[in-house]
Chain A
Amino acid sequence: MKLKNEAALDNLIICHRCFTLHKEVPMRDGLEACCLECGSVLYRHNTKLLDKGLALSITGLIFFVLANFFPLVKIEILGHEQLITIPKTIFSLMQSGFYIVGLLCMFLIFIFPLMTFTINTILFSLLKLKHANLWTKELLVLLAHIKPWSMTDIFLISILVSLVKLIGHAQIHMGVAFYSLVVFVLIDLYIVKRVHLLEIWILRKQILSEEYSK
């Protein structure tokens, strides 16, 4: 295989699932490039990724704050009312001596989701302001490390599972935070889980090359 120089490596892509070598091709807006061998999506061409990413990251942060401050679920059991919030769930684990589990939960459902959205917000706003050289590399590396560890979607399913367990024993009322969490998870799936980091790297490359050509 021949290459002009080492910079030409930038136009190559190796499929993340089956390690087949591909070349990046120009595409129409809204199309996906798929791997020939295994059919997984390599990258998507989306010119609105920057604007959508920035807007949805900020929206996600707002809903995350809502999801953490308001009661998640309220139950009535034997005449007593009980309500939980996300921080309360973590602290009650800590109080009963489950420090390791509590710490793990704190990272998986609070710190990492918060970090991914904060990083996304900073990253997209830096790219939007055309400061592609500043911090973006470090932020993308950090994002790649913590992205697989944010588990709000799994936490949402766990809430539903535990509520189904309680049906018949208690009266259940959903709180504001529950609906905020649903919105947050949907945004998380759309803008964090679905977007490959490669797409942001390609976006960064484009903005950098625009800067150089000026």
Chain B
Amino acid sequence: MIKIDKKKLIPCPICSAVNINKGKENTCYRCGSAIYHHKKFSTEKSWAFLITAIIAYIPANIYPMLITNTFGTHVGSTILEGVVLLWEHGSYPIAIVIFFASIMIPIIKFLILLYLLISVKYPIGKDKKINKHKLYYITEAIGPWSMIDVFVVAILAALIHLSNVSIVAGMAARAFAISVFFTLLAAHAFDKTLINEYK
């Protein structure tokens, strides 16, 4: 018979097996992967990824996402201009999808991750009104969907390249893809067990 404090049980992030927290470095008994639990550097990795993502998000909104060449004239449109253009043309559902996928979701993710990262270190948000596990789950569920815009640009650029009319991906596609990639990394690097500790 062994006695364990309930709070000392932590799940393995890879295989979700229940492990006993033995201090500095644990290895999961089932899958053998390390369960990191640094006291000092618990959130730094996630911070680094998140800041990179936010920096990359700025050029993604300034530079053109799609460049349309029609009979020698180049017209570039940024993400927001693309949404407005779609709205004016009357394709409202698509405008809403693109608006959510490439403007709302990244911003919501940035805000939630910022809030989570700050609240696990500093005592703001110790109130139980906001369910932080739910917030984290939301970021994980909606995160990948912002890739829609990058894929759409890739498909349109591959489909339309005639001599007179062609669509080319713009600088923003690069920045946006990098931004989405790093927000996903930041969400994965976030240590979920920290939320529990500060309940």
Residues from chain A with a CB closer than 8 A to the CB of B137 are 17
* A155 x B151 contact (CB < 8 A): yes
**Residues 1-17 of B at the A interface (beta carbon under 8 Å):** 1-6, 9-11, 14-17
Residues from chain B with a CB closer than 8 A to the CB of A12 are 9, 18
Decide yes or no whether A104 CB sits under 8 A from chain B: yes
* B15 x A201 contact (CB < 8 A): yes
In the complex, what's the smallest C-beta–C-beta distance from A106 to chain B, in angstroms? Answer: 10
Decide yes or no whether A189 CB sits under 8 A from chain B: no
* B152 x A19 contact (CB < 8 A): no
* B155 x A158 contact (CB < 8 A): yes
Known: A105-B150, A105-B151. A6 touches B2 (CB 8 A): yes
* A161 x B15 contact (CB < 8 A): no
B133 to chain A: closest residue by CB: A18
Decide yes or no whether B154 CB sits under 8 A from chain A: yes
Decide yes or no whether B111 CB sits under 8 A from chain A: no
Decide yes or no whether B173 CB sits under 8 A from chain A: yes
Complex interface bits, B149-177 against A, C-beta within 8 A gives 1, otherwise 0: 01110111111111011001100011001
Residues from chain A with a CB closer than 8 A to the CB of B150 are 101, 104-105
A sample of 19 more A-B contacts (CB under 8 A), given A78-B165, A92-B161, is A9-B17, A9-B29, A14-B18, A17-B137, A18-B134, A19-B192, A21-B6, A77-B165, A137-B31, A148-B144, A157-B97, A158-B155, A162-B151, A165-B156, A197-B15, A197-B16, A198-B15, A201-B15, A201-B16
Q: Which residues of B contact A (CB under 8 A)?
A: 1-6, 9-11, 14-20, 29-33, 86, 91, 93-94, 97-98, 131, 133-134, 137, 140, 144-145, 147-148, 150-152, 154-162, 164-165, 168-169, 173-174, 177-178, 181, 184, 188, 192-193, 195-196
List 27 contacting pairs A-B, 8 Å CB cutoff, sorted by A: A1-B5, A3-B1, A3-B4, A4-B1, A14-B16, A17-B133, A18-B133, A18-B134, A21-B6, A21-B18, A38-B133, A38-B134, A82-B160, A84-B155, A84-B159, A90-B154, A93-B154, A100-B174, A101-B154, A101-B169, A104-B150, A104-B177, A105-B154, A151-B147, A157-B148, A162-B155, A164-B91
Q: Which residues of A contact B (CB under 8 A)?
A: 1-6, 9-10, 12-14, 16-19, 21, 38, 73, 75, 77-78, 80, 82, 84, 88-90, 92-93, 96, 98, 100-101, 104-105, 108-109, 137, 140-141, 144-145, 148-149, 151, 154-155, 157-159, 161-162, 164-166, 197-198, 201
